[in-house]
Chain A
Amino acid sequence: MPTHMKPPVSGAASEQELAALIVKTLHLEVAPDELDPTTSLFGEGLGLDSIDMLEIVLSISKRYGVELRSEDRAAFASLRALTAHINRRYTT
């Protein structure tokens, strides 16, 4: 299964860039730099739900060409984990 659906727009992911992507995708009323990179995205923390997850996954696929699955759940633990996961998939 191809990991990259299409080439990324701009290099590897950074936490700041991903925070901006999440805030924009989900219309969150916080500034991207207010997102703590270690706060959990789902459950407690930001409290995102399954529809949010779907939206984020679509945005990431579009932007970085990286496809995420539910088994990558650990990657959704935090912004930091998600950034690292995308970069790992992007470079392999």
Chain B
Amino acid sequence: MISTATPSAETRFIGKHSRSCSSPIAEALPLLTHHSFEDIVASRGGDIFSVRDFLASVASLAVSLPARRYALNLCADRYHFLIAFAAALVARQASLLPTCRAPQVLAQLIRRYPDAYVLSDHDDIPSDIPAHPVSSRCRTFHRRMDIPALPSGQTAALVFTSGTSGSPCAHEKTWGSLVRGAQALKRQLSIRTECSRMVVGTVPAQHMYGLETTIMLPLQSGWGIHAGHPILPADLREAMENLRCPVWLMTTPVHLRAYVGQQTRLPGLTGIISATMPLARSLAAKAETLWRVPVDEIYGCTEGGVIGWRRTTAAHAWTVCSGLRMWQAGDATWVSGGHVGKPLQLADRITIDSPTQFILHGPGNDLVKVAGKRTSLAALNAALATIEGVVDGTFYRPRLDSKGHSRLTAFVVAPGIRTSTIQAELRKRIDPLFLPRPLHLVEALPRNLTGKLPRERLETFANEVVLRDRQRRG
């Protein structure tokens, strides 16, 4: 008989024997909403993992986990990530999900959460922290199988943004907020759960957008996931060919541009979701023509998850996710309710068009977004300042190029130090996506009398330095 792991709670079940109990102490929400134990949860190469396989792997991992509060989930394989994430939930442990694996960032996390251990499927992990291996090889079946139901108030994950001081800022995600976020996505995208689908993602599961679209949405829609993380066009095509069923592609504008440019064949594609940075309408139109599928765009942030969406080819304005309220106070835009909960200030510049529509103007002055990862110039400058020998320095974001993106550069005053040394030190402190290219060694920064670096002044300075460098190189 099918029953839940928390009998005091009211919840939904798969199978015929669903039941509910009255007077729930706390709302409990099921781990997954698949219709049958034989439904597909994941696929890797030629291997298929059913709900039954998945639950067996989760159960056997959960009982073997060390008795600690925090599990640092560094799994590279998406199905391994899912097993580890679910096992931690079952064991009432919170998953730490850093998007950056720079050694000093992980060291900082471990110092802040001394009760943490690593869940990983590879060896490239810090050696000074206990690690527990994750695999999907478990094939021990239990006659009696429960769908875990988890308290909605349980801390499921801690996701991180880079604080302005350079040390990561943690954001708590309860199981309830993640489930409500997945349900909001389902409503916005008009997803019908009776249709079985697979999800392929080009973003890591540790990223909030990846967690929402490639872990939570499939769990709460009864869908399966592709275990890989294909980025190169040939890898993505091969992943789609192996799935042989309708596939949703969760991707980013940077990746999508590559697949459109290559005219990558994507058999079985049924829909594309893009996020992390605004998608050009022309690119969305090309994708829709090439694959004859809708391209939907999500606007969100690590702290709040999905905030709004739009069909890029049909609308410039974004629609606020149902259940959320958006308002403005001065220049700041706030959102609350639904899966977001308490009022949250958004870092982007936004104008509200109507009660449910808004226009996104781009990141605030200090915000830096590269390929879905977010940091602030203040955080990067703080990291730069900690390098021995660096007297002064600043990161600089040039204006967007013709492709709509720009690489960060930096101007550094560090007499007697080589750029390669500074780059190597930066690599220990920040995500490689934010490494300055190039890093210019300069004699002084154009600070004003109060010691500030006004944007216009820095821009003029940057143009002069770049010009000088070009002339020097001939």
Contact = CB atoms under 8 A, between A and B. Distances in A.
Interface of A: 1, 5, 26-29, 31, 44, 47-51, 53-55, 57-58, 61, 67-71
Contact of A57 (B233, B238, B371, B438): B233
Given A27-B407, A47-B423, A51-B371, A57 B232 contact: yes
B119 to A, nearest CB: 22
A52 to B, nearest CB: 9
B235 interface: yes
Interface in B409-435: 423-424, 427, 432-433, 435
A73 to B, nearest CB: 11
A86 B437 CA distance: 27
21 contacts: A1-B234, A27-B407, A27-B437, A28-B438, A29-B437, A47-B423, A47-B427, A47-B432, A47-B435, A48-B432, A51-B370, A51-B433, A54-B231, A54-B254, A54-B258, A57-B233, A58-B261, A58-B262, A61-B233, A70-B231, A70-B232
Interface of B: 230-235, 238, 254-255, 258, 261-262, 370-371, 407, 423-424, 427, 432-433, 435, 437-438, 469, 473
A27 B469 CA distance: 14
Contacts of A27: 407, 437
A69 B238 contact: yes
Contacts of A28: 437-438
A61 B232 CA distance: 11
A53 B232 contact: yes
A25 B231 CA distance: 18
Nearest to B427: A47
A38 to B, nearest CB: 16
A47 B436 CA distance: 11
A49 B235 contact: no
A69 B473 CA distance: 35
Interface centre among B234, B432, B437 (most CB of A within 10 A): B234
B255 A49 contact: no
Contacts of A55: 258
Contacts of B258: 54-55, 58
Given A47-B432, A69-B232, 5 more contacts: A28-B438, A44-B427, A54-B254, A57-B233, A70-B235
Per CB-CB distance, the 6 closest pairs between chain A and chain B, nearest first, are A29-B438, A49-B432, A69-B234, A67-B234, A70-B235, A51-B371
A54 B233 CA distance: 8
A66 B302 CA distance: 37
Contacts, number: 57
A82 to B, nearest CB: 14
B413 to A, nearest CB: 18
Given A29-B469, A49-B432, A69-B232, A54 B427 contact: no
Interface of A is mostly: loop
A28 B261 CA distance: 22
B232 A68 contact: yes
Nearest to A54: B258
A32 to B, nearest CB: 12
A1 B264 CA distance: 12
Contacts of A71: 235
B433 A49 contact: yes
Nearest to B470: A29
A31 B473 contact: yes
Nearest to A55: B258
A59 to B, nearest CB: 11
A58 B435 CA distance: 22
A29 to B, nearest CB: 4
A31 B408 CA distance: 20
A13 to B, nearest CB: 18
Nearest to A58: B258
A5 B233 CA distance: 12
A61 B437 CA distance: 24
B101 to A, nearest CB: 11
Contacts of B234: 1, 67-69
A49 B427 CA distance: 11
Contacts of A31: 473
Nearest to B438: A29
A63 B458 CA distance: 37
Contacts of A49: 432-433, 435
Contacts of B235: 69-71
A51 B233 contact: no
Contacts of B255: 54
Contacts of B432: 47-49
Interface centre among A50, A55, A67 (most CB of B within 10 A): A50
Nearest to B371: A51
A85 B399 CA distance: 36
Contacts of A61: 233, 262
A67 B432 CA distance: 25
Interface centre among A29, A49, A58 (most CB of B within 10 A): A29
A47 B407 CA distance: 14
A47 to B, nearest CB: 6
A53 B433 CA distance: 12
Contacts of A57: 232-233
Nearest to B265: A1
